[in-house]
Amino acid sequence: MKARVFITLKNGVLDPQGKAIGHALNGLGFGSVGEVRQGKVIDLELSGSDQAKAKDELKAMCEKLLANTVVEKYEIELKP
Amino acid sequence: MKSAVIVFPASNCDRDAKVALEQMTGKTPAMVWHQDSELPDVDLVVLPGGFSYGDYLRCGAMASQSAVMRSVKAHADKGGMVLGVCNGFQVLTESHMLPGALMRNAALKFVCKPVGLEVQETQSGFTRKYESGQRVTFPVAHGEGSYFADEETLDRLEGENRVAFRYAKGENPNGAARDIAGILSEKRNVLGLMPHPERVVDDVLGGTDGRGLFQSLIEALS
């Protein structure tokens, strides 16, 4: 089973990298770009086929290591 | 006062900490490798600056999961003192031994320069030899030192007098919330700070403002 975890900053947490990316895009002439927030994507391969169990495990992984829940939120996507 | 310095892969201030401790206490600290699960019998554990585990995932995130950190937590739970400098502060927040998080500097630049600080809180084993409000200069060297916590946590830290060091007015190098440079744990036996007191214990190396922190520890732990 494959999983993808998206980790992004919580709303209200300052994202200077996102801001710099936005400025750079504006500088390239993409005037339509407003606020930009960046984050990371982690792809994982998991053994087993129980989706509910995998989701629980991934949640625990996010809480323990993959995300710093003081400033980050996460979304889990499971792929068959 | 017996001390230990934890050495992670890519720690780079571990020897600075060792030299400062030797100079200040007259005793050589134990250098403890991150895979060692047992700590020697010490009064103080220092988590040094650096880029532990290459800052992979997040600064301090991998180090917080290392074998030695379980012993460091147990040492703190028993009331033992822990000092985390720079990357050590990041390891302490990632280990939930201190609240909040250290974020990318607001200006996105790595800052490496002496910075003026105010000692905010002298009622601690780390700061008792300073005067309240005393202005000191410690060097900073970090890319991710912008202290962040939610408003409620910041209010609590201030209400409980746990902000030990604040950047002096106009000197905040990273955009840290409420100019916070260093904070104490609830039991006041854990201090994390971004600036480097261990780099200013000798005039030859640019200053002696950091000596007060080590003198405080010596007094508190003797």
> How many independent structural domains does chain B possess?
1
Bridge-based pairing state of the strands A72-79 and B135-142: unpaired
Query: Residue range B54-58: average pLDDT?
Result: 95
Closest CB from A17, A66, A70 relative to B104: A17
Closest CB from B61, B104, B108 relative to A65: B61
Domain holding B183: CATH number?
A: 3.40.50.880
Banded pLDDT at A79 (limits 50, 70, 90): confident
Q: What are phi and psi of A12, to 5 degrees?
A: 90, -15
Model confidence at A80: pLDDT above 80:
no
Question: How many other CB atoms sit within 10 Å of the CB of residue B164?
Answer: 26
Q: What are phi and psi of B143, to 5 degrees?
A: -105, -20
Query: Residue range B22-32: average pLDDT?
Result: 97
Q: How many residues does chain B have?
A: 222
Where in the sequence is the domain holding A29, given as residue range(s)? 2-79
Question: How much is the ipTM here?
Answer: 0.87
Helix (H, G, I), strand (E, B) or coil at B41: coil
Preferred mutation among A68, A69, A72 to probe B, highest tally of B CBs within 10 A: A68
Task: Tell me if chain B has a CB within 8 Å of the CB of A28.
Answer: no
CB spacing of B101 vs A70 below 8 angstroms: yes
CB spacing of A66 vs B100 below 8 angstroms: no
Q: What does the mean pLDDT of chain B come to?
A: 97
For residue range B88-134, what is the model confidence (pLDDT) as tens digits? 999 999 999 999 999 999 999 999 999 999 999 999 999 999 999 99
Please identify which residue in the block is written with the tokens 């720079």.
Answer: B86
Domain holding A6: CATH number?
A: 3.30.1280.10
pTM: 0.94
Report the C-alpha gap between A54 and A45 in whole angstroms: 10
Q: How many residues does chain A have?
A: 80
Task: Tell me if chain B has a CB within 8 Å of the CB of A71.
Answer: yes
Task: Tell me if chain A has a CB within 8 Å of the CB of B98.
Answer: no
Where in the sequence is the domain holding B46, given as residue range(s)? 3-221
CB spacing of B175 vs A14 below 8 angstroms: yes
CB spacing of A68 vs B61 below 8 angstroms: yes
> How many independent structural domains does chain A possess?
1
